Amino acid sequence: MDVFTKSFPNSEGPCIRRAWPPAAAAPPPRNKTRIMAPAGTKKGILERLDAGEVVIGDGGFVFALEKRGYVKAGPWTPEAAAEHPEAVRQLHREFLRAGSNVMQTFTFYASDDKLENRGHTQRFTGQQINEAACDLAREVADEGDALVAGGVSQTPSYLSCKSEDEVKAIFKKQMDVFVQKNVDFLIAEYFEHVEEAEWAVQVLKTTGKPVAATLCIGPKGDLNGVSPGDCAVKLVKAGAQIVGINCHFDPETCVKTVKMMKEGVEKAGLKAHYMTQPLAYHTPDCNRQGFIDLPEFPFGLEPRILTRWDMQKYAREAYNAGIRYIGGCCGFEPYHIRAVAEELQADRGFLPAGSEKHGLWGSGLEMHTKPWVRARARRDYWEKLKPASGRPYCPSLSTPDGWGVTKGHAELVQQKEATSKEELKALFDKASHTH
Amino acid sequence: MDVFTKSFPNSEGPCIRRAWPPAAAAPPPRNKTRIMAPAGTKKGILERLDAGEVVIGDGGFVFALEKRGYVKAGPWTPEAAAEHPEAVRQLHREFLRAGSNVMQTFTFYASDDKLENRGHTQRFTGQQINEAACDLAREVADEGDALVAGGVSQTPSYLSCKSEDEVKAIFKKQMDVFVQKNVDFLIAEYFEHVEEAEWAVQVLKTTGKPVAATLCIGPKGDLNGVSPGDCAVKLVKAGAQIVGINCHFDPETCVKTVKMMKEGVEKAGLKAHYMTQPLAYHTPDCNRQGFIDLPEFPFGLEPRILTRWDMQKYAREAYNAGIRYIGGCCGFEPYHIRAVAEELQADRGFLPAGSEKHGLWGSGLEMHTKPWVRARARRDYWEKLKPASGRPYCPSLSTPDGWGVTKGHAELVQQKEATSKEELKALFDKASHTH
Amino acid sequence: MDVFTKSFPNSEGPCIRRAWPPAAAAPPPRNKTRIMAPAGTKKGILERLDAGEVVIGDGGFVFALEKRGYVKAGPWTPEAAAEHPEAVRQLHREFLRAGSNVMQTFTFYASDDKLENRGHTQRFTGQQINEAACDLAREVADEGDALVAGGVSQTPSYLSCKSEDEVKAIFKKQMDVFVQKNVDFLIAEYFEHVEEAEWAVQVLKTTGKPVAATLCIGPKGDLNGVSPGDCAVKLVKAGAQIVGINCHFDPETCVKTVKMMKEGVEKAGLKAHYMTQPLAYHTPDCNRQGFIDLPEFPFGLEPRILTRWDMQKYAREAYNAGIRYIGGCCGFEPYHIRAVAEELQADRGFLPAGSEKHGLWGSGLEMHTKPWVRARARRDYWEKLKPASGRPYCPSLSTPDGWGVTKGHAELVQQKEATSKEELKALFDKASHTH
Amino acid sequence: MDVFTKSFPNSEGPCIRRAWPPAAAAPPPRNKTRIMAPAGTKKGILERLDAGEVVIGDGGFVFALEKRGYVKAGPWTPEAAAEHPEAVRQLHREFLRAGSNVMQTFTFYASDDKLENRGHTQRFTGQQINEAACDLAREVADEGDALVAGGVSQTPSYLSCKSEDEVKAIFKKQMDVFVQKNVDFLIAEYFEHVEEAEWAVQVLKTTGKPVAATLCIGPKGDLNGVSPGDCAVKLVKAGAQIVGINCHFDPETCVKTVKMMKEGVEKAGLKAHYMTQPLAYHTPDCNRQGFIDLPEFPFGLEPRILTRWDMQKYAREAYNAGIRYIGGCCGFEPYHIRAVAEELQADRGFLPAGSEKHGLWGSGLEMHTKPWVRARARRDYWEKLKPASGRPYCPSLSTPDGWGVTKGHAELVQQKEATSKEELKALFDKASHTH
């Protein structure tokens, strides 16, 4: 009998259980049974985390779909959920197949104040985008053992110094769709100021659903200088059951920052689950504002992309740090999430469906044409590899930009109209002088 | 009126007319009329090239689908055409949207001798895979101005010293499907020995359809030491109307090699069209066998991925060298093909549909939140950028492997069974001593 | 009239007055009068520092003379003072000419316990070496405006856990020579444990001469974990009037560490002068034990050597940090010290004699044969240059060794006999496993 | 009895013979007798080469003395021979001690047309400089087994299109001093145009002394496009007994170019000895004009300096290529020449005096304080080391300048006056636009 027993969407399920334990760095076992909770009987996010299970997140949709041609860099808005649903659906499926247990609704920057902002000619309302995103996430989540999480993120309103009420009203509008579409839990993510994240959590808590909250900050804390430990305490006190970090920094930095959060929470005598969804880009040279400030952002980041082996290292370090919700953000492709799932196969007891097409630790190369490539079919080889850039005229590190401004600064007040030629000229000149 | 005038598959067509002039940084096209032939009246590949038009190819499916979880590295076979058609269809659509004029059937390594090879448990016959691939390519090609090309590639039979008749029989079997499915033209690609490519061309020519032939070689010639110029002459004499290079080397090297082919053809008093479909990886450190021999192949190539700006440079250089069929191979994502189309917009007179989601030369950043990122919304910035790797512990270049063996050598005779543990051990030991 | 007014040792003095203004690129000094005290009337070290003058140190003799063929790497002992005096004298002269105000006696590791140690066949007694070194330093100091400093450094006796009395007796033996030869002041330098440095200071204080003390530590503190601030307080309390850092780290790290020392001293309500004599090697990748642990130490450090422009940056940063005794250690060549003097010309009011042979900020290139090299005759060019390594197969950073042992550990007990073949074999094996 | 038996200048001779053969990578043997031909009975340069002996050259004085403070970069003239003889004498001694068999007179650019050129205020006549240089070279050569070679190099007169007679008169003036001082042989070196080198050889041949001729060109040939093979044939036909390459490129490139010269000479049925004196800088990124065009020239070359291990590789490759006169040029320090001598100890039968202070292949580290540094006391370690630059913000390679001009171009006509501010401004502007 074929080991792949179910036939959706194309003949096997998203999660497969393997004979246990498999040989450490060996080719995948031939005998495996699929684990698949029937729809409706899935365990909730807190049930899983309370039981000590690993929950694997998905990757960032904005960057992945930009490369595929469906998101515009600059505005970074998610109208593709309504405009090109087949592309969003396919990406959800690939992450599911790679091992993700969470389908996040593709609603990043889908607040009305952002959609109306900066001259973008909208063809869909915020509500249409949020609804379409919920439907797509649910459709694919039901194809496997995944939950649906509705997500909100930082708003132009906050950066432009709108009132707490105004900002909260923005969050509520997205939340109303999530409630109507009955998502499984909620995520407040990508906040640079913990205060705004607290407001988001306070709004989302009113639903009664579990709430996760992640900031896009590093070890130096938020843009107001609040330390990671203090940020985490504030989020837990606001009502988040899961706290952590997403985006802006590489896995190493994010795990380090979550550790600081955990220390803060424990020192305060509180309890929480921990989560991290880092970049798939190496960012050892970033300052407080993360990869946004790198000269390579966003169109020259390729040389920084993590390999699958970097991802296995990340998954192990996150796990060892006590983090159990382990996912990704910008730069993550499905194979990156699969690498996380493969690293944690011993801890979870099974491999994802996508491992059907991947020999662990390079073992698929046993079947390569050239003998010297077959000689790379081993863990030792890939763990030690220091991959070359093929770019001898480029440096290893960059000096980040960052003009020393944050919330409230005139240059950061968000505007509806596209930047004018005169404004741009002034910016170009300023940039030329800081380099 | 909306500038996006046609409405498939999701509200606009693959080629779009823009209100003009659009973004600041973009040079104005000479001819702003949208070119979109209705299905059934499309110009053939030779008609286009004879008229001096640019034909944009697609990217390599094997690597792109490996990252998405549908192809296994090592065997590199294309069973996904039958097994996961929605994933293959989606990738076709993304390349169409990015500007591709050719949908290559996903039939790389889909010859029976390869599929049966090396222990892979086949769930589909070669015929099933080839048929499914033709159907998918045709379905998407009909959504825009693209042709379908049936492709064959090098065979284990040749490397294992089978006879000319046996090798030609392999090609014929795939070709019979292409004829039955009525593809628009044929491509013989990825040959390391020009002799095998000649055999392939001789077989494909019997269909009466146009034939293109590309080798995966560099300036040093094929693995038997035949120079690029001589290779090209042999291919033209065998009947190919389009000759060139695909895979194994970066754009710079491939364009250089095609130039050598062109010189050879012209010196011989022959005529041909020229084509290049390079890697999307920088390979300045490769020797004759290309990126296969790099220590990073295939699971550590990330730092070598070209940016979109590298691709614009490639498109210009290929165009300036007289190459008019300009596409990609392993490593290409849809945004890389879009960059080719954007660089050539003035030459072609229009932008691809996917440019709806891309500000030329970074102009989308005019709408970014941070002012110092807005200051990057200009051609000058991205053209001069030397992107850092974020990997200070890694080198810029690597020393390629390559054990000095080629066709006919015992270590290269292809085998059905997976390499045994003993054979692998011997390979690992040999590898350790050569490093 | 010639601008070079004094005529020793070869026609001009170590400090020169220039016809003014000289080369285009040079900022004008505030006070162009030549400072040159006649022998016998020189100001002492504390007089200078108390008056706010900059005192420029020399560079490290051990590394410079290793490259010239007079010191053996491994033992690093200074027998050349007695064995090859002409080589030592010449190096003193070059530093004097480059602007040094201090001739340190070449007595590094010239304690009897070190000289007898580790199988080195001594041809000179410690006393002979110390005496010869004092004579050479005095001879050259008298040729210009320089003082003689007698120096002691860390001892094998301390690392091997000898008693305070035994260790102090070692210092006293060297000190007796310095007193007899009447050096101008004393330096206790290159200590990894502040406790040993305190003992040295306590001994040297008994002479009544000014005492400077520098540790070879970084921001993480000494090998027992004492912070830079606490170390500095201990040294001042032990009697040092000048405290700081030498060796083991690059200028950036050393200046940063001295700043921490300064903060500690000021916080404790104490007073001191500050001094730094860093490496001329970039060491951003070092851990607590500094460049010793880098895989490149000591025979592969070339790619890390600082340029003269790096040195000007160092001099400025040290000056801005309130450091007034600014010199160098291992890796410094005379032109590095000259760069320090040139950067500080406006602050000091004059240039060193060696600047006779150096156009400030590259202005000497105005006379180069090739026009594109003449175009480099400007500050802007050299300040912005990011010099390439010419080594594309090498990384930018290394992972330091360091087996987690320090004072008292069996592997660190110093031995008289050369390491045996068996001991070496064990070390090689251990090293292979840690890489 | 001490193994070092002679006592000049400080107790031992420049060459020592070791028990033979020594252990391959072992510490230096304890039993060795000095080989030292008494003055007056030394074998001549051609006697040595005809007998198949290795002749080790010295390193470049201009760069070494620039770092020591006695030569000005830009004019690069050798007035130090007269002005600071003790510095020149000391450098000669260090090279002798390192193993050099040739003391080249420090007469580079000591032709009157160069000395008068470009605004340099001369304090010595060309004749004074040439005479002083001969005396210094002879004095030190007589301290060991070294010959004196008088050297001439390319002239501003040739670049400024003076006549053959005028250019030859320049060479003759220097040559007259060499004859009067009775040097052992003559070297015409550092020519970018083979025609000028032929003229120099023709002049030098009139002395009856052996003549060596080296060009500063790479594999692409001289600045008029004459290939290395053709250049060598011309030089041999002009009368040179020794031909080769010096300066402008790294050892790898120079050895490769000399191989091309050798092939040319042999193909022409001629005979010659071969010689190479490369840079001590890695220059893989240079074009035809060599390191002059690198952005790092001359004040940012530090990261490119070769290690001693790079030098051993060079010496072996040169030897294997049939080159027997093996020396160095700009960037060489005495320890680089010692590394050449150590690599060739088996071929020559002895080690240089300077090896007294150097453990072969790092064996001196057996006596280092830290055990992990002792573990580096082995050939395997240093041969495999890929030294890091410590400069993560810098690239590995640079793009050379070079404005496409050569002999006869207006911008290259040499001038007496320093470049004016206006001329410099124009150059700066031009440079800014080419970057």
User: Mean pLDDT across chain B, nearest whole number?
Assistant: 88
Question: B213: which strand partners?
Answer: B188, B243
Question: B191: which strand partners?
Answer: B215
| B19 contact residues in A (CB cutoff 8 A) | none
Among A52-61, A98-107, B112-121, C347-356, name the one with the lowest average pLDDT. B112-121
pLDDT > 70 fraction of chain C, expressed in percent and rounded? 85
Segment B145-166, tens digit of pLDDT: 999 999 999 999 998 899 999 9
Residue C386 in domain: yes
Q: How confident is the model at residue A2 (pLDDT cuts 50, 70, 90)?
A: very low
Mean pLDDT of C123-128: 91
Nearest Cα residue to A288 out of A310, A257, A332: A257
Q: Which chains does chain C touch, 3 or more C-beta pairs < 8 A? A: A, B, D
Question: What is the residue-wise DSSP string for B327-393?
Answer: ---TT--HHHHHHHHHHTHHHHSSEEGGGGG--GGGGGGGG-SSHHHHTT-SHHHHHH-----S-TT
| B396 contact residues in D (CB cutoff 8 A) | 395-397
**Cα distance between residue D335 and residue C305, in whole Å:** 16
CB–CB of D396 and B392 under 8 A? no
Residue D3 in domain: no
Nearest Cα residue to A348 out of A356, A357, A336, A340: A340
**Cα distance between residue A79 and residue A90, in whole Å:** 16
On the question of pLDDT at B345 being above 70, the answer is: yes
Residue A349 CB: number of other CB atoms within 10 A?
14
More confident: A368 or B136: B136
pLDDT > 70 fraction of chain B, expressed in percent and rounded? 85
How many independent structural domains does chain C possess? 1
| D398 contact residues in A (CB cutoff 8 A) | 393
Mutate to test the interface with B, among A8, A68, A312 (most CBs of B within 10 A): A68
Nearest Cα residue to B183 out of B213, B143, B147: B147
**Per-residue exposure over A189-223, b if at least 16 CB sit within 10 Å of its own CB, e if not:** bbbbbbbbbbbbbbbbbebebbbbbbbbbbeebbb
Q: How confident is the model at residue A324 (pLDDT cuts 50, 70, 90)?
A: very high
A242-246 vs A15-18, strand pairing mode = unpaired
Segment A378-417, tens digit of pLDDT: 999 999 999 999 999 999 999 998 776 555 566 655 555 5
Residue C330 annotated as binding? yes
Mutate to test the interface with A, among D389, D391, D393, D398 (most CBs of A within 10 A): D393
Q: Which chains does chain B touch, 3 or more C-beta pairs < 8 A? A: A, C, D
Q: Which residue of C has its CA nearest to A394?
A: C388
ipTM, interface predicted TM-score of the complex: 0.90
A350-352 vs A15-18, strand pairing mode = antiparallel
Nearest CA of chain A to the CA of D395: how many Å? 4
Nearest Cα residue to D117 out of D421, D429, D430, D416: D416
User: What one-letter code names the amino acid at B56?
Assistant: I
pLDDT > 90 fraction of chain C, expressed in percent and rounded? 76
Q: Is B252 helix (H, G, I), strand (E, B) or coil?
A: helix
CB–CB of A395 and D399 under 8 A? no
Residue C286 annotated as binding? no
Nearest Cα residue to D244 out of D315, D207, D191, D202: D191
Report how far apart, in Å, the C-alpha atoms of D316 and of each of B301, D13, D46, D324 are. 34, 25, 22, 11
**Cα distance between residue D388 and residue D385, in whole Å:** 9
Of the ranges A10-24, A32-46, A377-391, A409-423, the best mean pLDDT one? A377-391
Residue B330 annotated as binding? yes
Cβ neighbors of C392 (< 8 A, separation 6 or more) are A392, B285, B395, B396, B397, D284, D396, D397
| C303 contact residues in A (CB cutoff 8 A) | none
Would you say B342 and B355 are in contact if contact means Cβ atoms under 8 Å apart? yes
Would you say D274 and D262 are in contact if contact means Cβ atoms under 8 Å apart? yes
Residue A6 in domain: no
| C399 contact residues in B (CB cutoff 8 A) | 393
Q: Which residue of A has its CA nearest to C389?
A: A392
Nearest Cα residue to C36 out of C141, C183, C136: C141
Residue C55's domain comprises: 40-430
Query: The dihedral of CA D356, D358, D361, D365: what is its sign?
Result: positive
Nearest Cα residue to B358 out of A18, A54, A70: A70
**Helical H runs in D99-227?**
112-115, 126-141, 156-159, 164-180, 194-205
Q: How far is CA C219 from the centre of its chain?
A: 18
CB–CB of C395 and B392 under 8 A? yes
**Cα distance between residue C178 and residue C147, in whole Å:** 13
C9 cis-preceded (ω within 30 degrees of 0): yes
Segment B23-48, tens digit of pLDDT: 333 333 333 333 344 445 799 999 99
Residue C3 in domain: no
Q: Is A269 helix (H, G, I), strand (E, B) or coil?
A: coil
Mutate to test the interface with D, among A286, A384, A393, A399 (most CBs of D within 10 A): A393
Query: What is the model's pLDDT at position C9?
Result: 36
Among A206-210, B287-291, D241-245, name the one with the lowest average pLDDT. B287-291
Segment B367-405, tens digit of pLDDT: 787 888 999 999 999 999 999 999 999 999 999 987 765
**Cα distance between residue D88 and residue D58, in whole Å:** 13
Structure tokens at A118: 């900066």
Cβ neighbors of A261 (< 8 A, separation 6 or more) are A228, A229, A231, A232, A243, A244, A245, A274
CB–CB of B396 and C392 under 8 A? yes
Residues in chain A: 435
Query: What is the model's pLDDT at position B60?
Result: 97
| D390 contact residues in A (CB cutoff 8 A) | none
Dihedral (Cα; D303, D306, D307, D311), 10-degree rounding: 180
Segment A46-69, tens digit of pLDDT: 999 999 999 999 999 999 999 999
Mutate to test the interface with B, among C294, C384, C396, C399 (most CBs of B within 10 A): C396
| B392 contact residues in D (CB cutoff 8 A) | 392
Query: What is the model's pLDDT at position A424?
Result: 76
Which residue is it, tokens 């600045």? Answer: D223
CA angle (C119 as vertex; C116, C123 as ends), nearest 5: 60
CA angle (D302 as vertex; D296, D307 as ends), nearest 5: 135
Report how far apart, in Å, the C-alpha atoms of C417 and of each of C159, C161, C210, C412, C421 are. 16, 18, 37, 14, 12
Which residue is it, tokens 């540790």? Answer: C215
Question: A325: which strand partners?
Answer: A55, A275
Would you say B226 and B234 are in contact if contact means Cβ atoms under 8 Å apart? yes
Mean pLDDT of B174-200: 98
Segment C301-355, tens digit of pLDDT: 999 999 999 999 999 999 999 999 999 999 999 999 999 999 999 999 999 999 9
Cβ neighbors of A416 (< 8 A, separation 6 or more) are A116, A117, A118, A119
Nearest CA of chain B to the CA of D390: how many Å? 9
Q: How confident is the model at residue C367 (pLDDT cuts 50, 70, 90)?
A: confident
- Nearest CB to A397; choose among D393, D397, D398: D393
Nearest Cα residue to C218 out of C181, C183, C253, C169: C253
CATH number of the domain where residue C49 is located: 3.20.20.330
Residue D8 in domain: no
Question: D213: which strand partners?
Answer: D188, D243
CB–CB of C397 and B393 under 8 A? yes
Nearest CA of chain A to the CA of C381: how many Å? 13
| D396 contact residues in B (CB cutoff 8 A) | 395-397
A242-246 vs A211-215, strand pairing mode = parallel
Question: What is the residue-wise DSSP string for A372-411?
Answer: HHHTT-SHHHHHH-----S-TTS-S-------S--TT-GG
Nearest CA of chain C to the CA of B408: how many Å? 33
Number of inter-chain CB pairs under 8 A, B vs C: 21
CB–CB of C396 and A397 under 8 A? yes
Residue D9 in domain: no
CB–CB of A393 and D395 under 8 A? yes
CB–CB of A98 and B338 under 8 A? no
**Cα distance between residue B20 and residue B2, in whole Å:** 13
CB–CB of C392 and A397 under 8 A? no
- Nearest CB to A72; choose among B71, B357, B396: B357
**Cα distance between residue A154 and residue A160, in whole Å:** 11
**Per-residue exposure over D201-227, b if at least 16 CB sit within 10 Å of its own CB, e if not:** bbbbbebebbbbbbbbbbeebbbeebb
Query: What is the model's pLDDT at position B2?
Result: 35
CB–CB of B396 and D392 under 8 A? no
Q: How far is CA B308 from the centre of its chain?
A: 16
**Cα distance between residue D394 and residue D301, in whole Å:** 12
CB–CB of A386 and C392 under 8 A? no
Q: Which residue of C has its CA nearest to B395?
A: C395
C21 cis-preceded (ω within 30 degrees of 0): yes
Query: What is the model's pLDDT at position B111?
Result: 87
Number of inter-chain CB pairs under 8 A, C vs D: 351
**Helical H runs in A153-250?**
156-159, 164-180, 194-205, 228-238
- Nearest CB to C386; choose among A386, A392, A395: A395
Number of inter-chain CB pairs under 8 A, B vs D: 8
Question: D191: which strand partners?
Answer: D215
On the question of pLDDT at C415 being above 70, the answer is: no
Nearest Cα residue to D369 out of C251, C278, C153: C153
CB–CB of C393 and B398 under 8 A? yes
Residue D115 in domain: yes
Q: Which residues of chain D have pLDDT under 70?
A: 1-40, 117-121, 404-419, 432-435
Give Dmax over CA atoms of chain C in angstroms.
Answer: 69
Residue D308 in domain: yes
| D386 contact residues in B (CB cutoff 8 A) | 395
| C395 contact residues in B (CB cutoff 8 A) | 392-395
End-to-end CA distance of chain D: 64
Would you say A24 and B97 are in contact if contact means Cβ atoms under 8 Å apart? no
Query: What is the model's pLDDT at position A201?
Result: 98
Structure tokens at A35: 């684990």
Query: The dihedral of CA A136, A138, A143, A148: what is its sign?
Result: positive
On the question of pLDDT at A29 being above 60, the answer is: no
Nearest CA of chain B to the CA of D400: how many Å? 16
Cβ neighbors of D426 (< 8 A, separation 6 or more) are none
Nearest CA of chain C to the CA of A392: how many Å? 6
**Cα distance between residue D250 and residue D286, in whole Å:** 9
CB–CB of C386 and A396 under 8 A? no
CB–CB of C302 and D299 under 8 A? no
CA angle (C400 as vertex; C394, C402 as ends), nearest 5: 150
